[in-house]
């Protein structure tokens, strides 16, 4: 059995030796280079684009503007499965190039040139005239009457408003003796910062167009390019090679339609569009900033009587994934801490800002920042231990959601918390760090997270797999689920080897998806690759095995029910004798003069289940109050992701997510100029992605309760690691200082404000510099707590 | 692919001077960690470049006969950090340049480039201000030496005349002998960052370690160019080594600095941090000098 073992990544050697080829490596050097001209206003109309000077630049092939787009096919960019029901389709509000500017950085023209220098020179020489409109950047301002309107069909800029009503909130809050705890919580706009920027290239062959793209979702890209260009989908071929990360940004159609259109406009010539980092920040997708307002009515015994959540999700200028993100977080609210009386109102609102789409966690990191921060405050008001308060109120074993039919089969929360607490010595530290004084204080805090796997029953879940037997007894595996760095191909190889019964070296997973030949699948998102592909790999593997054994029956005369494939051999199960190798069977099957067969299997499995995936983070911090700095001293995540197919890869996945959570909690934030709407820090210097030097050793732990609905006992792990880290750090800061920070990230600017408001600097002038760090930490004398 | 009009490579200082004279529009490039970034951003696109990176005579640190520490302008941050003379005489400079960017940048970046950029955030600059460093400039008229405070004219502008290049940074014996120093880089993360504030403090204690004989404090990002906090220095001179001196020294920096409000950091925040790090850097410098703060 390979499932459960830390086998080596199938792409390890190629990746560490640099042999792996990514989109740019694959593109022919003769390609034209395209660059995009972005708007320099936040809202308005393009009146005129003067390209005369730019066209004189040697090497410029063609400049195309929004006015050259003669056929206007509006398209939706979200990388969701298509819905044949128009009511459930994503909002089609984008054009390849637009004259209606809705954010600073909108796409209004493109240059095609022989090289990047000529393209850059031409971009600088294009002159644009605009009619400017007022713009709005704040999500709640945008909802007010009279605010600048982005899309006619959405009054008050509200893309969608959904409600959840359970019990009777208004009645429930009248219960005598309730304690009200209320808070507002803000999360920032952040960007994915995958190491490979978005890149694609396109060229025509005959009347077909081929696109090679750094995407998570090749089959969805094919459909949307067809819709955007008004082309039959079968005339489009999309190839996805190895990609340097995506984290959800590449679960969106970014510039594949534009690149394809530019190729068509230049006679089908090969055109490459390699988006610079600065533009990746502004003109790809970002994470929704969500402002949440929570009111809890608690009984003195520490149980909830009624709860209310309002959340306002900043969509930016176009719909992309839209309300799905906010709705996911809002949907988690009544489940995580069940309460009889709940009201939830979730709004997704357009603003004149970069477009928000999918990003690892899909609304849950925002929701957990609010919910877990709030939980800590409620426990503090009640003077209850945060751990015991959680234990009392968290979702219990047996909880079943009526809509998804998800069931909490095991006591995941308690098991994960126990394991994490032990690893980080939580109980001792939690006591030890109480009531500290001094400039430098330690704290420890926890947060849990709610997550689920895949998107059933909201949209289509389907997975297809093809296996083709080779004459040496090995076989190819193709699935529509994509390797995006997470190690999916390795997990697929392990599962396929187990189902068919061969050594893992005999499984060749075709990493590259090509929509002309790869069976249909919707790609990498929703932490679903292993869960989803598991169904079709098991089903197809069994089908392949059946065909192999059917042929073995011909060669061995033994009945199929007495045969099995074990470790690459055809074995008679009655006595365990190896009758022949799979290799000799496969060779004979292919070349037999009497009974030649090409043994293959292909099948589709439609998944009609979903699975909860829960866990927690515990973080320990040291807060230097005068310096307004938090040092993360230790951090541990514990997950119940079901059975781990590959524990080492699972651990790596958790480390990556924790790193993302650390940046989210402590440093990352996109900043917008209030005067112009321009993104001010769209580069990796000014945008403070956290570095190795900002991380302690990351600990990843697991409890493995096999998921009963799953083909291999596995469930979501891709996104969950990023969901609870930031609130755990935030709660550790609260523990250390008594300051409940409302806004992420807890960078020094934000902490300066929070500590000032809390009066932590209200000492005699210069007190922060009284003594050196060590002396302050050890003596802790004469320092006032708020 | 970079938009560079022409690249001329000098193999000696003389050749560099003549190439710069021949091509008055040309920009000097050393390690390129700033110039190439600017070209990519379009700011210097299409530039002519004179590369001085191959002039090995400008590399290395040495102690001259009169006790002056001479740092060749092309010496990389990594080399400065590892240099034995620096470690022994002015370790604070090694610590400061060890905080620049990341390892790759410290391998390619040079101290000459760091100072010739004229930016206030340069990690080497505030420390060199605090050491009263002398800048050596070579040009068609020969060699001239000026105090670093005169070298910086305004943000992004240093005193390099046509045909001139910076060839060395000198720290006279009287500036370093008997002094100990500490640098604090205040940034948003622990690597790959530029300072929101940089503060370098040197102190010289009396023989009995009870009195501050001299104190020097310089900031980066407290103004458009690096600056000395002179009233803070005056506050400390001749004062006893105690916490009151530290507090008054730190508080006095507000008379000297004028940080601005920008989206990178608010003025009130920078002022708060400036006081905190002044006190901490001063304290550390005193401790390194053998002082005891009771």
Residue A532 to residue A639: CA distance in whole angstroms: 19
Residue A750 to residue A754: CA distance in whole angstroms: 6
A696 touches chain B (CB under 8 A): no
Q: Which residue of A has its CA nearest to B194?
A: A685
Distance to chain B for A129, nearest Cα, Å: 22
* Alpha helices (H) in A458-574, listed in sequence order: 488-500, 529-556
Residue of A123, A770, A773 best to disrupt the B interface, most CBs of B under 10 A: A770
Under the banding of pLDDT at 50, 70 and 90, the label for residue A767 is very low
Residue of A685, A692, A770 lying closest to B243 (CB–CB): A770
Q: Are A761 and B272 a contacting pair at CB < 8 A?
A: yes
Which CATH number goes with the domain that contains A71? 3.90.1170.50
Q: Are residues A559 and A620 in the same domain?
A: no
Residue B67, pLDDT above cutoff 80: yes
Residue of B104, B121, B192 best to disrupt the A interface, most CBs of A under 10 A: B192
A306 domain residue, yes or no? no
- Looking at residue A149, its pLDDT comes to 98
Q: Could you give the strand order of the β-sheet that contains B197-205, starting from the edge strand earlier in sequence?
A: B179-186, B197-205, B212-220, B227-228
Distance to chain B for A202, nearest Cα, Å: 21
- Looking at residue B260, its pLDDT comes to 87
Which residue, A559, A581, A606, sits at the end of a domain?
A: A606
In this prediction, residues B236-257 reach a mean pLDDT of 97
Which residues form the domain of B24?
4-51
Residues in Cβ contact with A517 at an 8 Å cutoff, skipping those fewer than 6 apart: A478
Q: Are residues A449 and A504 in the same domain?
A: no
Under the banding of pLDDT at 50, 70 and 90, the label for residue A763 is low
Residue B19 to residue B26: CA distance in whole angstroms: 9
Residue of B119, B188, B196, B291 best to disrupt the A interface, most CBs of A under 10 A: B188
Which CATH number goes with the domain that contains B195? 3.30.390.50
A125 touches chain B (CB under 8 A): no
Distance to chain A for B293, nearest Cα, Å: 8
B294 domain residue, yes or no? no
Encode pLDDT of A424-463 as tens digits: 999 999 999 998 999 999 999 999 999 999 899 999 999 9
Residue A781, pLDDT above cutoff 90: no
Dump strand ranges (E) for A286-339.
289-298, 304-316
Residues in Cβ contact with B215 at an 8 Å cutoff, skipping those fewer than 6 apart: B201, B202, B203, B204, B232, B233, B236, B237, B249, B282
DSSP codes joined into one string, A404-418: T--B--S-HHHHHHH
A763 touches chain B (CB under 8 A): no
Q: Are residues B116 and B200 in the same domain?
A: no
Under the banding of pLDDT at 50, 70 and 90, the label for residue A400 is very high
DSSP state letter for A519:
P
B293 domain residue, yes or no? no
Residue B294, pLDDT above cutoff 80: no
ipTM at complex level? 0.96
- 3 state SS of B213: strand
Q: Are residues B40 and B71 in the same domain?
A: no
Q: Are residues B205 and B239 in the same domain?
A: yes
Structure tokens given for A197 = 């920027």
Q: Are residues B74 and B154 in the same domain?
A: yes
Contact indicator for A632, A729 with CB cutoff of 8 Å: yes
Q: Are A673 and B272 a contacting pair at CB < 8 A?
A: no
In this prediction, residues A499-522 reach a mean pLDDT of 98
All residues of chain A having their beta carbon less than 8 Å from the beta carbon of residue B278 are 769
> Which residues on chain B place their C-beta less than 8 Å from a C-beta of chain A?
1-3, 42, 45-46, 102, 186, 188-194, 196, 243, 246-248, 250-251, 263-266, 268-269, 272-273, 275-280, 282-284, 287, 293
In this prediction, residues A678-699 reach a mean pLDDT of 97
All residues of chain A having their beta carbon less than 8 Å from the beta carbon of residue B102 are 691
All residues of chain A having their beta carbon less than 8 Å from the beta carbon of residue B182 are none
Which residue, A555, A590, A606, sits at the end of a domain?
A: A606
Which residue, A580, A606, A632, sits at the end of a domain?
A: A606
Q: Are residues A767 and A660 in the same domain?
A: yes
Share of chain A above pLDDT 70, in %: 97
Share of chain A above pLDDT 90, in %: 96
Which CATH number goes with the domain that contains A417? 3.30.365.10
Q: Are residues B272 and B208 in the same domain?
A: yes
Which residue, B174, B194, B213, sits at the end of a domain?
A: B174
Residue A702 to residue A643: CA distance in whole angstroms: 9
Residue B194 to residue B192: CA distance in whole angstroms: 7
> Radius of gyration (Cα) for chain A, nearest Å?
28
B228 domain residue, yes or no? yes
User: Which stretch of DSSP H or E encloses residue A204?
Assistant: strand A199-205
- The Cα angle at residue A647 between residues A641 and A651, in degrees rounded to 5: 80
Residue A468 to residue A549: CA distance in whole angstroms: 15
Q: Are A120 and B46 a contacting pair at CB < 8 A?
A: no
Which residues form the domain of A688?
395-455+610-779
Q: Which residue of B has its CA nearest to A671?
A: B263
CA distances from A588 to A471, A502, A569, A584, A659 (A): 8, 18, 14, 6, 52
Residue of B263, B268, B293 best to disrupt the A interface, most CBs of A under 10 A: B263
- Looking at residue A744, its pLDDT comes to 98
Residue of A116, A686, A690 lying closest to B1 (CB–CB): A116
Q: Are residues A107 and A209 in the same domain?
A: yes
Encode pLDDT of A21-73 as tens digits: 999 999 999 999 999 999 999 999 999 999 999 999 999 999 999 999 999 99
Q: Are B243 and A771 a contacting pair at CB < 8 A?
A: yes
Q: Are residues B71 and B162 in the same domain?
A: yes
Which residue, B51, B68, B85, sits at the end of a domain?
A: B51
Contact indicator for A413, A392 with CB cutoff of 8 Å: no
Residue of B1, B264, B280 lying closest to A769 (CB–CB): B280
Contact indicator for A41, A533 with CB cutoff of 8 Å: no
Contact indicator for A57, A113 with CB cutoff of 8 Å: yes
Q: Are residues B86 and B138 in the same domain?
A: yes
Q: Are residues A517 and A615 in the same domain?
A: no
A329 domain residue, yes or no? no
Encode pLDDT of B116-135 as tens digits: 999 999 999 999 999 999 99
Residue of B190, B194, B269 lying closest to A693 (CB–CB): B190
Find tokens 């690249």 and name the residue: B7
Contact indicator for A765, B247 with CB cutoff of 8 Å: yes
In this prediction, residues A574-596 reach a mean pLDDT of 98
B250 domain residue, yes or no? yes
Which residue, B131, B149, B174, sits at the end of a domain?
A: B174
A333 domain residue, yes or no? no
Q: Are residues A57 and A44 in the same domain?
A: yes
- 3 state SS of A228: helix
Q: Are residues B168 and B186 in the same domain?
A: no
Residue of A769, A774, A782, A783 best to disrupt the B interface, most CBs of B under 10 A: A769
A50 domain residue, yes or no? yes
In this prediction, residues A720-748 reach a mean pLDDT of 98
A312 domain residue, yes or no? no
Number of domains in chain B: 3
Q: Are residues A726 and A630 in the same domain?
A: yes
Number of domains in chain A: 3
Q: Are residues A33 and A120 in the same domain?
A: yes
- Burial (CB count <10 Å: 0-12, 13-18, 19+), residue A763: middle
In this prediction, residues A327-352 reach a mean pLDDT of 98
Q: Which residue of A has its CA nearest to B268?
A: A752
- Looking at residue A741, its pLDDT comes to 98
In this prediction, residues B160-177 reach a mean pLDDT of 98
Q: Are residues B40 and B67 in the same domain?
A: no
Residue A667, pLDDT above cutoff 70: yes
Q: Are A688 and B189 a contacting pair at CB < 8 A?
A: yes
Q: Are residues B144 and B126 in the same domain?
A: yes
Residue of B102, B188, B251 lying closest to A766 (CB–CB): B251
Point out which residues pair with A605 in neighbouring strands. Answer: A463
Q: Are residues A491 and A408 in the same domain?
A: no
Q: Which residue of B has its CA nearest to A629?
A: B188
- Burial (CB count <10 Å: 0-12, 13-18, 19+), residue A786: exposed
A39 domain residue, yes or no? yes
- Looking at residue A116, its pLDDT comes to 96
Under the banding of pLDDT at 50, 70 and 90, the label for residue A762 is confident
Q: Are residues A596 and A636 in the same domain?
A: no
Q: Are A627 and B266 a contacting pair at CB < 8 A?
A: no
Which CATH number goes with the domain that contains B30? 3.30.43.10
Residue of B190, B196, B287 lying closest to A772 (CB–CB): B287
Q: Which residue of A has its CA nearest to B43?
A: A124
CA distances from B61 to A447, B89, B145 (A): 52, 12, 17
B114 domain residue, yes or no? yes
Distance to chain A for B269, nearest Cα, Å: 7
- Looking at residue A772, its pLDDT comes to 38
A362 domain residue, yes or no? no
A45 touches chain B (CB under 8 A): no
Q: Are B191 and A627 a contacting pair at CB < 8 A?
A: no
Residue A361 CA from chain centroid, whole number? 5
A389 domain residue, yes or no? no
Point out which residues pair with A623 in neighbouring strands. Answer: A441, A630
Q: Are residues A671 and A547 in the same domain?
A: no
Q: Are residues A440 and A484 in the same domain?
A: no
């Amino acid at each position: 059995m390979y499932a459960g073992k830390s086998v080596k990544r199938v792409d390890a050697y190629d990746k560490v030796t640099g042999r792996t080829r990514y989109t740019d490596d694959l593109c022919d050097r003769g390609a034209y280079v395209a660059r995009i001209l972005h708007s320099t206003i936040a809202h308005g109309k393009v009146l005129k684009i003067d390209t005369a000077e730019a066209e004189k630049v040697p090497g410029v092939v063609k400049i195309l503007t929004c006015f050259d787009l003669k056929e206007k096919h509006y398209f939706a960019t979200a990388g969701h499965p298509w819905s044949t029901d128009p009511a459930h389709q994503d909002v089609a509000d984008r054009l390849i190039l637009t004259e209606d500017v809705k954010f600073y950085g909108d796409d209004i023209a493109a240059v095609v040139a022989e090289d990047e220098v000529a393209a850059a020179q031409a971009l600088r020489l294009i002159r644009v005239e605009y009619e400017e409109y007022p713009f709005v950047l704040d999500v709640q301002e945008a909802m007010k009457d009279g605010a600048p309107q982005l899309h006619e069909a959405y009054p008050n800029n509200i893309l969608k408003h959904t409600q959840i009503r359970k019990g009777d909130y208004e009645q429930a809050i009248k219960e005598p003796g309730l304690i009200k705890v209320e808070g507002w919580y803000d999360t920032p706009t952040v960007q994915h910062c995958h190491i490979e920027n978005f890149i694609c290239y396109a060229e025509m062959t005959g009347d077909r167009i081929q696109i090679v793209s750094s995407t998570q979702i090749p089959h969805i890209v094919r459909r949307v390019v067809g819709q955007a260009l008004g082309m039959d989908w079968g005339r489009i071929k999309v190839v996805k090679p190895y990609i340097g990360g995506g984290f959800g940004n590449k679960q969106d159609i970014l510039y594949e339609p534009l690149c394809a259109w530019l190729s068509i406009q230049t006679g089908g010539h090969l055109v490459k569009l390699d988006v610079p980092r600065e533009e990746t920040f502004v003109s790809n997708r970002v994470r929704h900033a969500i402002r949440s307002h929570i009111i809890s009515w608690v009984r003195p015994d520490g149980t909830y009587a009624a709860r209310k959540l309002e959340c306002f999700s900043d969509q930016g200028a176009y719909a992309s994934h839209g309300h799905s993100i906010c709705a996911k977080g809002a949907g988690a609210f009544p489940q995580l801490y069940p309460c009889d009386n709940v009201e939830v109102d979730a709004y997704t609102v357009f603003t004149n800002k970069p477009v928000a789409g999918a990003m690892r966690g899909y609304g849950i990191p925002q929701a957990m920042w609010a919910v877990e921060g709030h939980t800590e405050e409620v426990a503090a008001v009640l003077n209850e231990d945060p751990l015991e308060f959680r234990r009392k109120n968290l979702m219990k074993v047996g909880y079943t959601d009526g809509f998804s039919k998800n069931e909490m089969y095991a006591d995941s929360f308690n098991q994960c918390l126990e394991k994490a607490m032990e690893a980080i010595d939580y109980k001792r530290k939690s006591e030890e760090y109480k009531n500290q004084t001094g400039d430098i204080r330690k704290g420890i805090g926890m947060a849990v997270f709610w997550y689920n796997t895949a998107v059933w029953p909201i949209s289509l879940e389907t997975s297809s797999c093809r296996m083709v037997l080779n004459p040496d007894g090995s076989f190819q595996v193709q699935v529509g689920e994509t390797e995006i760095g997470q190690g999916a191909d390795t997990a697929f190889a392990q599962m396929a080897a187990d189902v068919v019964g061969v050594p893992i070296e005999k499984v060749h997973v075709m990493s590259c998806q090509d929509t002309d030949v790869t069976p249909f699948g919707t790609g990498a998102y929703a932490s679903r690759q292993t869960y989803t592909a598991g169904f079709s790999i098991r089903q197809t593997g069994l089908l392949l095995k059946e065909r192999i054994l059917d042929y073995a029956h011909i060669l061995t005369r033994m009945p199929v029910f007495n045969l099995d494939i074990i470790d690459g051999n055809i074995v008679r199960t009655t006595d365990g004798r190896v009758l022949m190798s799979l290799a000799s069977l496969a060779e004979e099957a292919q070349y037999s003069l009497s009974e030649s067969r090409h043994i293959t299997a292909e099948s589709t499995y439609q998944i009609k289940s979903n699975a909860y995936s829960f866990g927690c983070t515990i973080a320990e911090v040291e807060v230097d109050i005068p310096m307004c700095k938090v040092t993360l001293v230790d951090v541990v995540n514990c997950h119940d992701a079901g059975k781990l197919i590959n524990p080492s890869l699972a651990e790596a996945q958790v480390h990556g997510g924790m790193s993302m959570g650390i940046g989210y909690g402590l440093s990352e934030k996109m900043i917008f100029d209030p005067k112009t709407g321009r993104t001010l820090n769209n580069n990796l210097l000014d945008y403070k992605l956290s570095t190795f030097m900002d991380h302690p050793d990351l600990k990843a732990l697991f409890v493995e309760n096999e998921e009963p609905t799953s083909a291999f006992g596995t469930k979501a792990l891709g996104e969950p690691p990023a969901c609870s880290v930031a609130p755990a750090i935030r709660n550790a800061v609260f523990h250390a200082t008594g300051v409940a920070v409302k806004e992420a990230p807890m960078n020094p600017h934000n902490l300066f404000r929070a500590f000032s408001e809390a009066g932590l600097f209200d000492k005699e002038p210069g007190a922060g510099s009284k003594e050196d760090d060590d002396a302050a930490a050890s003596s802790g004398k004469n320092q006032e707590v708020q | 692919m970079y938009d560079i009009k022409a690249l001329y490579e000098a193999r000696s200082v003389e050749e560099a001077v003549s190439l710069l004279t021949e091509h008055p529009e040309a920009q000097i490039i050393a390690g390129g960690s700033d110039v190439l970034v600017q070209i990519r951003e379009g700011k210097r696109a299409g530039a002519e470049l004179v590369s001085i990176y191959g002039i090995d005579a400008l590399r290395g640190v040495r102690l001259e006969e009169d006790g002056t520490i001479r740092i060749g302008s092309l010496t990389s941050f990594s080399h400065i950090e590892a240099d034995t003379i620096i470690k022994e005489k002015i370790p604070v400079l090694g610590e400061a340049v060890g905080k620049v960017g990341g390892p790759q940048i410290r391998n390619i970046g040079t101290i000459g480039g760091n100072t010739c950029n004229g930016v206030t955030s340069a990690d080497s600059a505030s420390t060199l201000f605090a050491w009263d460093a002398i800048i050596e400039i070579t040009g068609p008229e020969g060699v001239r030496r000026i105090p670093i405070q005169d070298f910086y004219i305004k943000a992004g502008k240093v005193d390099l005349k046509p045909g001139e290049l910076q060839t060395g940074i000198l720290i006279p014996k009287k500036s370093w002998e008997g002094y100990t120093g500490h640098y604090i880089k205040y940034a948003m993360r622990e690597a790959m960052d530029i300072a929101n504030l940089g503060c370098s403090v040197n102190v010289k204690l009396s023989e009995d370690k009870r009195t501050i004989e001299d104190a020097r404090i310089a900031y980066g990002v407290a103004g458009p160019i690096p600056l000395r906090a002179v009233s803070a220095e005056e506050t400390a001179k001749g004062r006893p080594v105690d916490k009151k001196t530290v507090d008054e020294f730190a508080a006095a920096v507000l008379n000297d600095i004028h940080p601005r409000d920008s989206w990178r950091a608010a003025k009130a925040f920078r002022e708060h941090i400036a006081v905190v790090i002044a006190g901490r850097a001063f304290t550390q410098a005193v401790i390194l000098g053998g002082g005891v703060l009771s």
